[in-house]
Structure 1
Amino acid sequence: MCGLLGILTGDGDAAALTPAVERALPCMRHRGPDAAGTWCDDDVVFGFNRLSIIDLEHSHQPLTWGPADDPERYAMTFNGEIYNYPELRAELAGAGYEFRTEGDGEPILVGYHHWGEAVLEKLRGMFAIAIWDTRTRRLFLARDRFGIKPLFYATTGAGTAFASEKKSILEMAPELGLDAADLDRRALVHYTDLQYVPEPETLHAGIRRLESGCHATLAPGGEVTQVRWFDPAFPIEPVPAGGEQAVFDRIAAVLEDSVAKHMRADVTVGSFLSGGIDSTAIAALAKRHNPDLLTFTTGFEREGFSEVDVAAESAAAIGVEHIVKVVSPEEFAGAIPKIIWYLDDPVADPALVPLYFVAAEARKHVKVVLSGEGADELFGGYTIYKEPLSLRPFERLPAAALRGLGALGRALPEGMRGKSLLLRGSTPLERRYYGNARSFTFEQLREVLPWAPREWDHGEVTAPIYARSADMDPVTRMQHLDLFTWLRGDILVKADKITMANSLELRVPFLDREVFEVAQTLPVDMRIAHGTTKYALRRAMEQIVPEHVINRRKLGFPVPIRHWLAGDELHDWARGVIDESGTGDLIDKAAVRRMLAEHHPTRNDNSRRLWTVLAFMIWHGIFIEDRIRPEIEQRDYPVRL
């Protein structure tokens, strides 16, 4: 787990940009405090910060390799982990290749030489990769299937810069000729509505992201043209009569194998543990490979907003040592500016704040943690996935009848029983669902952003994704959409950025190639069935996860912001953020003040909308106004073997 940075020049004078890369590398030293280095030739300069996890004494990057007749042909920077690297090494060694290191990076380079871009299909892991071929003078960029590891890029007259974190590109803005204050207003509308900035956008108009499951090959002076190498399919296989147990056994076996592979490291591996089935399953399986496993959780003092007790009960049941961090409202508010600095773009998910604190606590003890992200998207874990089942009667109605029911629903008074059902049932899925994030109606969004285009709707983000799932059933289409929206826009962004802020590597065994190959075949009634979600996963984990967790509803790390924003804990803090923000040309601050004044935790809950705006205001104060300057610790950690 590391931070990569580089520039492909357009004028053949990469050496002139090496000082800029060296200056920008410390912006993401938190991603790799163990070592740093640069490499360049005429057209490209690479920079790297390393967090040493595998082959600690070697495998330094930028890494070079080549065949016997051209031993320095390729140079690579690589952020992530390849869990099947021993198997890849053995396969390539059998084809006659020799290796210079014992790490997981070199098999990527050797595999790229042997298979070309098809090497990506071979990799079982998380990655963002940049490979320079000194013979063909081509740069190859790639990201993993699900977008676990980030990769930003910006193309200007000076060339194409690419990095694990956007702030490093912004640091090089003068040399690149990049306007670091050029806000992408369209991305701001998307963020306000979705609570995250959807790929490939960022809030900076000149900087984009290589999308999950994509690669690009470019020459000096060329543009980044993305090619999708992974598009998740769901070739559902019917379960034969009496064959359910075989499915459950298959899920249990592939997940155990994934956890075993994700435990590969030359440093200590721990596990996050909340009160739900996902993290508990991962921790219980990890305990089989590390009897001294440490687990970590976080919570709050407020009753009803803590997973601490359930997680502690789970830890005792599976026999692991458990460490808890309790976060106060003062700690919560004080950490927000630096958390948003680490994020690069705001993510309006309050759960990232307790994640920051539990990651900081975990880093005192371990260098790698496992976590349960991805289970909901793969196995059907969100309650909203049940909606198409309840709306099936509407599917048989002709279009004219649906239009009439929609008109009736709109005419009914707010709060009247049946209104919501009529509106949802008469609205096509593509217009009804665009992920787990929406907190603003379009009218509310325009109150906050008066300049937002009247013709805008979420379809410009979701329509291309829905177009690729037209032959799938509605539940599967929702899961497919979430893989490209909520998962990579919220969950994986906070998982990567917030743990890396603490120089901690987070691994996600559910988002594994082999696990997905099993999950993608499950029929709907193996996902949403018997009044529950993740039905097949729950059944598969019955002998692994403690009984008090197996059917517990999902909570994650719940955050009491709706109470804090209405009380003494955060109300005055929020008012100060609004008053001091220099976003008056973008946001109707009077509307936000009314939203805060009218907020009540139960009668009129504006907390998610408020949090979305407050996070952006703080981001704007850091990255556009240069008014807020978080204190970022340059921490040094010992390597615990």
Structure 2
Amino acid sequence: MCGLLGMLTAHGDAEKFDSAISHALPCMRHRGPDDAGTWHDADAVFGFNRLSIIDIAHSHQPLQWGPEHQPNRYAMTFNGEIYNYVELRQELQELGYSFNTSGDGETIVVGYHHWGTDVVNHLRGMFGIAIWDSVERKLFLARDQFGIKPLYYATTPVGTAFSSEKKTLLDMAEALGLSDALDRRAIEHYVDLQYVPEPESLHQDIRRLESGCFAVVTPGGEVQAQRYFEPKFHTSPVTKDKEQDLFDRIARALEDSVEKHMRADVTVGSFLSGGIDSTAIATLAKRHNPNLLTFTTGFEREGYSEVDVAAESAAAIGVEHIVKIVSPEEYVAAVPKIMWYLDDPVADPSLVPLYFVAQEARKHVKVVLSGEGSDELFGGYTIYKEPLSLAPFEKIPIPLRRGLGVLGDRLPDGMKGKSLLQRGSMTMEERYYGNARSFNFEQMQRVIPWARKEWDHREVTAPIYAKSRHMDPVARMQHLDLFTWMRGDILVKADKITMANSLELRVPFLDKVVFDVAESIPHDMKISHGTTKYALRRAMEGIVPEHVLNRKKLGFPVPMRHWLAGDELFGWAQDTIKESGTDDIFNKPAVLEMLNEHREGVSDHSRRLWTVLAFMIWHGIFVEKRIDPQIEQREYPVEL
């Protein structure tokens, strides 16, 4: 887990950009405080910050490798972990290849030499990869299947630069000839969805290589992404006598994944909330580390904490448990810092408690396991039940359904049945845009009146839906969330916020072997018996403590609605809006009116307000340069 930065020049003048790379590297020292290095030849220059996890004394990057007749043919930087590197190394050694290190990174470059771009299909892990082939003069860029690790890039007349974090590319803007202009369409997407969807960023000249994609770039060429991973969700019915076989396959796959994710030369801990996902991971991890430490966070306000349940789980599985309670004052003070680490805003209030629990965990361990991805793979969101409740509408002709929707629109707000009629009148593509939405179009126009009249969330979701027509309704929703909510919110915060604390977060649910089982589960084994993740819950019987086996999902709940209406955050929010230099983006009087409506109880605008506030703070840091995020470079021991 590290930070890579590099550039493929268009004119063979890489040495000219070496100082720009060296100057920008400290922007993401938090990703790798243990070691740093640069390398260049005539065409390419690479920089790297290392968080040493495996083969600590060796495996320095940028790493060079080549066969005997072409020594140092390749240069590589790689951010992430390859969990099957031991098995891949053995396979490649049997094919006659030799290795100079015992780390996972060298396995990638040797594999690339042998398999070419198909190496990505052999890797089991999380990764952002850059490999320069000095013989064929080609740059290979790749991201893992799910998008756990980020990879930004920018192409200008002087070349293509790439990095684990956008801020390093912004630091090199003058050398690269990058514009500082914001992407207005990406702003619309953010305001509507509360995150910036891939491949966009809020800066129009900087983009992201999408999850499950690679690209081969030549000097002076463009980044043309190719998708190598496409979820299929090829489900088929499971007969009663085969159910236990399915549950056993899930349990075996997850246990194998956790075992592989425990591979490290440093201490591995685990996040632990009150739900089945993190509890399953921690329970299985305990089998490989009897002294496992677990971590959780919460708030003092009643009903907004999983601390008690997590502590009960920790006691039941026999692990030492560490808790961090976050106050409103700590929360608001950390927001500018968090927006700086994020690169682009994500309007998810749970980012802040995650930051504090990661900060606490880093005092004790260097790696943590977590339960991200379980909901998308196993059907964990309550909204996935919606196709069942709306099934009767599917039998009604579309014109008649539209009429029911008009009737629903005319019913008073809050009247029982109004929402059912409205949503039942729409197709799935129209009504479901993923697990997050801050504003509908009318509300959007209230705060950003310049929003395009033709804007529709399907601008983002339609290409994804087009690939899922063969799937059942629940699988289509899962498929959409894999490409929107999960990689736009869940995995961005998982990477950026833990890396802000030089802590490596590993996600065993998002594993090739686990996914191979999960995508074969039929919908009636996901949403069944009045619960979500039914098959996973059955698979975990006898493994996780009984009190969490059927507990509803809660996550990191944040009392934002109460804080924005009360003395905790109302004044801070009011000042943030008034002081923000975003008058060309937001209708600030309308935002202040929303804040007052929220305080008076007219409407719950907390989610919408947080979306705007997060953007305003981000804008104050990166555009106005008015807000100092007060980033301190912390020193950590290399080993924990």
TM superposition score normalised by structure 2:
0.99
Post-superposition Cα deviations, 1:574-613, rounded to whole Å, max 9, x if no partner, equal 1110011000111000011011111049662111000000
Asked if the contact 1:294–1:320 (Cα under 8 Å) also holds between the matched residues in 2, the reply is yes
Asked if the contact 2:155–2:222 (Cα under 8 Å) also holds between the matched residues in 1, the reply is yes
**What residue number does 2:338 align with?**
339
**Structure 1 residue 473: Cα displacement:** 1.1
**What residue number does 1:518 align with?**
517
**What residue number does 1:452 align with?**
451
Asked if the contact 1:600–1:606 (Cα under 8 Å) also holds between the matched residues in 2, the reply is no
**Structure 1 residue 158: Cα displacement:** 1.3
For 1:487-506, list aligned pairs within 5 A: 487-506=486-505
For 1:297-446, list aligned pairs within 5 A: 297-446=296-445
**What residue number does 1:582 align with?**
581
Asked if the contact 1:2–1:49 (Cα under 8 Å) also holds between the matched residues in 2, the reply is yes
Point out where structure 1 has 5 or more consecutive residues left out of the alignment: none
For 1:183-332, list aligned pairs within 5 A: 183-332=182-331
SS at match of 1:614: helix
**What residue number does 1:159 align with?**
159
2:81 is aligned with what amino acid?
E
Distance change in 2, residues 1:436/1:268 (3 Å):
same
1:233 is aligned with what amino acid?
K
Q: Matches of 1:465 and 1:43 in 2, distance apart?
A: 36
Asked if the contact 2:337–2:629 (Cα under 8 Å) also holds between the matched residues in 1, the reply is yes
SS at match of 1:309: helix
SS at match of 1:242: helix
SS at match of 2:517: helix
Asked if the contact 1:213–1:231 (Cα under 8 Å) also holds between the matched residues in 2, the reply is yes
The Cα RMSD (Å) is: 0.9
**Structure 1 residue 416: Cα displacement:** 2.3
Q: Does 1:16 align with 2:40?
A: no
Q: Matches of 2:110 and 2:455 in 1, distance apart?
A: 47
Aligned length: 640
**What residue number does 1:47 align with?**
47
1:293 is aligned with what amino acid?
L
Q: Matches of 2:411 and 2:493 in 1, distance apart?
A: 40
1:314 is aligned with what amino acid?
S
544-553 or 47-56: bigger deviation: 544-553
Asked if the contact 2:231–2:479 (Cα under 8 Å) also holds between the matched residues in 1, the reply is yes
**Structure 1 residue 404: Cα displacement:** 2.1
Asked if the contact 1:376–1:534 (Cα under 8 Å) also holds between the matched residues in 2, the reply is yes
**Structure 1 residue 115: Cα displacement:** 0.5
1:144 is aligned with what amino acid?
D
Q: Matches of 2:271 and 2:488 in 1, distance apart?
A: 21
TM superposition score normalised by structure 1:
0.99
Asked if the contact 1:146–1:213 (Cα under 8 Å) also holds between the matched residues in 2, the reply is yes
Q: Matches of 2:14 and 2:609 in 1, distance apart?
A: 45
**What residue number does 1:59 align with?**
59
**Structure 1 residue 334: Cα displacement:** 0.3
1:627 is aligned with what amino acid?
R
Asked if the contact 2:15–2:40 (Cα under 8 Å) also holds between the matched residues in 1, the reply is yes
**Structure 1 residue 18: Cα displacement:** 0.2
Post-superposition Cα deviations, 1:67-108, rounded to whole Å, max 9, x if no partner, equal 110011111000000000000000000000000000000110
**What residue number does 2:566 align with?**
567
**Structure 1 residue 400: Cα displacement:** 2.4
Distance change in 2, residues 1:635/1:601 (3 Å):
farther
**What residue number does 1:484 align with?**
483
410-419 or 83-92: bigger deviation: 410-419
**What residue number does 1:117 align with?**
117
**Structure 1 residue 407: Cα displacement:** 2.3
Post-superposition Cα deviations, 1:389-443, rounded to whole Å, max 9, x if no partner, equal 1111111112222222222222323222222111111100000001111121111
The structure 1 segments of at least 4 consecutive aligned residues displaced by more than 3 Å after TM superposition are 600-603
Q: Matches of 1:629 and 1:258 in 2, distance apart?
A: 41
Post-superposition Cα deviations, 1:481-502, rounded to whole Å, max 9, x if no partner, equal 0000000000000000000000
Post-superposition Cα deviations, 1:284-327, rounded to whole Å, max 9, x if no partner, equal 00000000000000011111111111100000000000000011
**What residue number does 1:92 align with?**
92
Q: Matches of 2:208 and 2:73 in 1, distance apart?
A: 27
Distance change in 2, residues 1:602/1:243 (3 Å):
farther
Asked if the contact 1:267–1:367 (Cα under 8 Å) also holds between the matched residues in 2, the reply is yes
SS at match of 1:355: helix
Q: Matches of 2:488 and 2:123 in 1, distance apart?
A: 23
Asked if the contact 2:566–2:599 (Cα under 8 Å) also holds between the matched residues in 1, the reply is no
Asked if the contact 1:563–1:601 (Cα under 8 Å) also holds between the matched residues in 2, the reply is no
Asked if the contact 1:198–1:489 (Cα under 8 Å) also holds between the matched residues in 2, the reply is yes
Asked if the contact 1:345–1:619 (Cα under 8 Å) also holds between the matched residues in 2, the reply is yes
Distance change in 2, residues 1:14/1:549 (3 Å):
same
Post-superposition Cα deviations, 1:9-40, rounded to whole Å, max 9, x if no partner, equal 11110000000000000000000000000011
Asked if the contact 1:562–1:601 (Cα under 8 Å) also holds between the matched residues in 2, the reply is no
**Structure 1 residue 542: Cα displacement:** 1.3
Q: Matches of 1:218 and 1:234 in 2, distance apart?
A: 32
Q: Does 1:82 align with 2:82?
A: yes
SS at match of 2:542: coil
Q: Does 1:105 align with 2:108?
A: no
Q: Matches of 2:147 and 2:465 in 1, distance apart?
A: 19
Q: Matches of 2:400 and 2:561 in 1, distance apart?
A: 40
SS at match of 2:240: coil
Q: Matches of 1:241 and 1:544 in 2, distance apart?
A: 22
Q: Matches of 2:215 and 2:522 in 1, distance apart?
A: 34
Asked if the contact 2:234–2:471 (Cα under 8 Å) also holds between the matched residues in 1, the reply is no
299-308 or 45-54: bigger deviation: 299-308
SS at match of 1:49: strand
Q: Matches of 1:193 and 1:143 in 2, distance apart?
A: 26
**Structure 1 residue 3: Cα displacement:** 0.2
Q: Matches of 1:419 and 1:635 in 2, distance apart?
A: 53
Point out where structure 2 has 5 or more consecutive residues left out of the alignment: none
